[in-house]
Amino acid sequence: MWDVPIPGPGPQRGMVFQDYGLFPWLTVRGNIAFGPKSRGRSTAEVRDTVERFISLVGLQKFADAYPHQLSGGMKQRVAIARVLANDAEVVLMDEPFGALDAMTRDRLQDELLDIWQRTGLTVLFVTHSIEEAIFLADRIVVMSPGPGRIDSEMEISLPRPRDVVASDFNDIRRELSLRLHSHHGRKAA
């Protein structure tokens, strides 16, 4: 899969945005069903898929609620479930927890790790938070100030669950912070 050109959008690649991107006129169930229905799945298959992913993200009690009736964390779980229900192989997440309060962000990070462990999904996660990157990632790619340029990469081999106050975690945080701050005063080529 990794050496195949990607000519454009497709159901194998899902996107989760910071602002949720849910359809306000659809319920939780309807938002999650959108992709499988659009791909021509049978009614029974759509129903089974929707129920499986509603359960996976823990929103059984809110299956018939509309986005305006949900908290930010719930909306983000619906957005994640909607991508997964569409059989995505790779999920691109653009600061999906950036607009959430700290407690909700921590809880969703744990839930994302749980989903990742259960599904084996490949996730490309964009964040400005060094701690979030270390907590979630197996590999961190540091981008340069010039758009689209990779400055460095770092493999993260800490065991899970990761402890954000552990010395090895903070050693990595310090190293990444130094890499990022080394950009100050450097001009993009």
Q: Measured between alpha carbons, how far is 48 from 62 in angstroms, rounded to an integer?
A: 17
Q: Measured between alpha carbons, how far is 141 from 100 in angstroms, rounded to an integer?
A: 23
Q: Higher confidence at residue 134 or residue 58?
A: 134
Is pLDDT at 120 greater than 60 in this prediction? Answer: yes
Q: Higher confidence at residue 88 or residue 72?
A: 72
Mean pLDDT across the stretch 3-21? 82
Q: Higher confidence at residue 138 or residue 186?
A: 138
The pLDDT confidence band at residue 118, using thresholds 50, 70 and 90, is confident
pLDDT over 70, % of the chain: 95
pLDDT one-digit tens code per residue, 13-49: 888 888 888 999 999 999 999 999 988 999 999 999 9
Mean pLDDT across the stretch 86-104? 85
The pLDDT confidence band at residue 188, using thresholds 50, 70 and 90, is very low
Question: Among candidates 126, 129, 136, which has minimal Cα distance to 156?
Answer: 136
From-to residues of CATH 3.40.50.300 in the chain: 18-126
Is pLDDT at 182 greater than 80 in this prediction? Answer: no
Cα angle value 84/85/87 (rounded, 5°): 70
Cα angle value 176/180/182 (rounded, 5°): 115
Would you tell me which CATH number, out of the four given (3.40.50.300, 3.30.450.40, 3.50.50.60, 3.40.50.12280), belongs to the domain 18-126?
A: 3.40.50.300
